[in-house]
Amino acid sequence: MSKKNEKLIKIISQFKNKKILVVGDIMLDKYIWGDVTRISPEAPVQVVSVQAESYAPGGAANVANNIAAFGSDSYMSGIVGKDIANEILLKEMRKRNIKTEYIITDEKKPTIQKVRVIGQRQQLLRIDYEKGEYLSKEIENKILDFVTNKIKGIDGVVISDYAKGVITKNLMMNIIKLCKGNKKIVTIDPKPQNKKFYKDATLITPNCKEASEMTNIEPDSEKNVLKIGKKILKELKAPVLITRGEKGMTLFETNGKVMNIPTKAKEVYDVTGAGDTVVATVTLALTSGATLRQAAIIANHAAGVVVGKVGTSTLSINELKQSLENE
């Protein structure tokens, strides 16, 4: 194993000592697993014979799940509805050692659910339950109070924005200000329509499609990918890590340096939640003393592991270390 990778493994070993707060759009992922047996006589659609159902924390809660899976202290703040899905979701989160005391029940909204039907290891259909409206001022203030009271006792904050209403301009500006004032890492998994909210973050981690929409530039050449990253960096005054699927990742630093990182994925079964794994891993790496480049390399290894799994997946510290050791 190279000395470079030995350093990265030392950084990963620090993950378990870290405390990270995730703020964002919490969802419940439901999976219906089955076999496709025939075509329906009622319509030209597949009939799935259901074998099992399972649940997992989704959206921002999957970021918190990835953090907890590394053995770190994972705190979640956001909203759920007053419904059965809320009860299932909170139970699933607590089962995975995610701290839920900063989650607020909003009686005017349902708990966001993503229901996926899986047959023969392939996703056949997705059904969404959601009501995408911005938070009331009262709930926004409660979340901000949570962050204000918690900031000194944590190592970093992840903003997981799915544009479902939790991340408002006022909340975002205040969280970034709090993090900078207390010298805490703040990373953002963004949504293009909210891009103006993210100025001065420690790191922004869009996928290629999101980065393209943030700049109105098509990522159809390496030259254009460079333009995209540099434009986001200039506008938001923050480093950018663009995740690019089979092309790996590209990191843009404020000093003008650009680094391309080839993918580590050997097989890709499911990209569900891969961006959540990236922002969780890169945040833990940065709070553990990694440079931006080291953090990006570690996150790239983590993404390579999770896309080889089916469903909303996480990985352990040992799996991450093994990926580096096997390089």
Catalytic residues: 276
Q: Give 215-235 as a DSSP string.
A: HT----SHHHHHHHHHHHHHH
d(CA 48, CA 219): 37
d(CA 31, CA 94): 19
Q: What counts of helices (H) and strands (E) characterise the chain? A: 10, 13
- CB neighbour burial string for 171-187, b if at least 16 within 10 angstroms, e if fewer: bbebbbebbeeeebbbb
Spatial contact of 156 and 279, defined as CB atoms under 8 Å apart? no
**Vertex 229, ends 211 and 181: CA angle to 5°?**
90
Q: Give 10-76 as a DSSP string.
A: HHHTTGGG-EEEEEE-EEEEEEEEEEEEEE-SSSS-EEEEEEEEEEEEEEHHHHHHHHHHTT-EEEE
d(CA 259, CA 236): 19
Spatial contact of 307 and 274, defined as CB atoms under 8 Å apart? yes
Provide the 3-class DSSP secondary structure of residue 277: helix
